[in-house]
Amino acid sequence: MNSRRGFLRDLAAAAAQVGSAAREATAEPVAPASFPLSDAELDRYGRQLALPEWGLAQQAALREARVLVVGTGALGSPVALYLAGAGVGRLGILDDDAVELSNLHRQLLHFTPDVGVPKAESAAAKLRFLNPDIVVEAYRMRVDETNAPGLIEGQDLVIDCSDTFATRYAVNQACCDAGVDLIEGGAVGWAGLVMTIVPKRTACYRCAFPTAPEGSLTCSQAGIAGPVAGVIGSLQALEALKLLAGLPGPLTDAFLQIDLAAGDFLRVTVSRRADCPDCADA
């Protein structure tokens, strides 16, 4: 353990020296000023820093990131847990519901003593326990088309974990207008869907789904297996880490349709629509 920490400290020092030399040579900042990580950060994030694709620059990018998670229920719970754990520096969480007993089989941030507590507060408390080094901002409100632009302004990334098509379309439009990257997700029954959107460059949610499907059922009507939400939310979190760290392979110009009853993962290719009301060029 100690030799590993020493290695990571040496790596941090070397990277800071390289960054300093590069700044002198180019007069351009190559990394945030507070780039070197503390001993505790090297320990906390050591297993992801050990990934060949993940280094100090990726960790520093996460620490500088501002991410909004819309909804702290079935999908928002794993998303927020993984992003807080990974070290996203500023995490906004947003929900206007209170915790109910029927939530607890799938909404991992909330426990039995939390029943009746606003979900945003319940979630924020757990996330601050998980990672006291990050800033968690909790908002007790529901996103709609009137407040979405203001909430999304200034974010680096939005992850939509809401449970209605009206919210999904409002978030999609606001992200397209503001040029903020978006990760969509949905889950019901034994199935779900994940899609990553880089506005004006890749297909948006409305490009893929121009209108809400008629007769779609909610989780209270159709039911949902708890781990299904965990799978979809975990995939959203993974997509978020890829985008924030600048790693290749985000799930863009496509959505992943996942049937967990059969164990099928189907990647469906989609393209930007020239007449998309949300993302078409003016």
**Active site positions, annotated:** 219
- Figure out which of the listed residues 74, 81, 224, 279 binds Zn ion, where binding follows CB under 5 A: 279
Q: How far is the CB of 272 from Zn ion (least distance, A)?
A: 6
CA-to-CA separations, 218 to 57, 92, 230, in angstroms, rounded: 41, 25, 17
Q: Are strands 254-259 and 66-70 parallel, antiparallel or unpaired?
A: unpaired
Site for Zn ion in 207-246 (CB under 5 A): 207
Kindly indicate which of the ranges 157-165, 213-221, 261-269, 270-278 contains the residues binding Zn ion, using the contact rule CB under 5 A: 270-278
The span from the CA of 193 to the CA of 186, in Å, is 5
Q: Which of 31, 49, 244, 276 binds Zn ion (CB under 5 A)?
A: 276
**Closer Cβ to Zn ion, 45 or 209, answer by number:** 209
C-beta of 51 vs 268, nearer to Zn ion: 268
Nearer to Zn ion, 156 or 278 (CB): 278
Name the segment binding Zn ion (CB under 5 A); options: 8-16, 179-187, 241-249, 271-279.
271-279
Piece of the chain touching Zn ion by CB under 5 A; list 4-12, 14-22, 219-227, 274-282? 274-282
Q: How far is CA 238 from CA 46, 91, 233, in A?
A: 17, 16, 9
| Displacement of CA 61 from its chain's centroid (Å) | 14
Nearer to Zn ion, 8 or 170 (CB): 170
What does the per-residue mask of binding to Zn ion show for 38-57, with x meaning CB under 5 A? --------------------
Minimum distance between the CB of residue 43 and Zn ion, rounded to whole angstroms? 43
Give CA–CA dist 155/177, Å, rounded: 13
Considering only 15-23, 42-50, 191-199, 269-277, which stretch makes contact with Zn ion by CB under 5 A? 269-277
Q: Is 175 in the site for Zn ion (CB under 5 A)?
A: no
Nearest of 46, 34, 35, 36 to residue 2 by alpha carbon:
46
Query: How many CA atoms, within 13 angstroms, populate the side-chain half-sphere of residue 196?
Result: 18
Six-digit token string for 99: 């915790």
Q: How far is the CB of 197 from Zn ion (least distance, A)?
A: 8
Angle value at C-alpha 218, between 212 and 220, nearest 5 degrees: 170
Q: Which of residues 178-207 bind Zn ion (CB under 5 A)?
A: 204, 206-207
Q: Are 87 and 131 in contact (CB under 8 A)?
A: yes
Six-digit token pair at 274? 């020239």
Q: Shortest approach of Zn ion to residue 196 CB, angstroms?
A: 13
182 CB-side CA count, 13 A: 34
Least distance (Å) from Zn ion to the CB of residue 199?
8
The label of the residue with tokens 């979809």 reads: 232
CA distances from 65 to 111, 119, 217 (A): 28, 23, 35
Q: Nearer to Zn ion by C-beta: 240 or 276?
A: 276
Q: How far is the CB of 235 from Zn ion (least distance, A)?
A: 21
Which one-letter amino acid corresponds to residue 144?
A: D
Which residues form the interface with Zn ion (CB under 5 A)? 204, 206-207, 276, 278-279
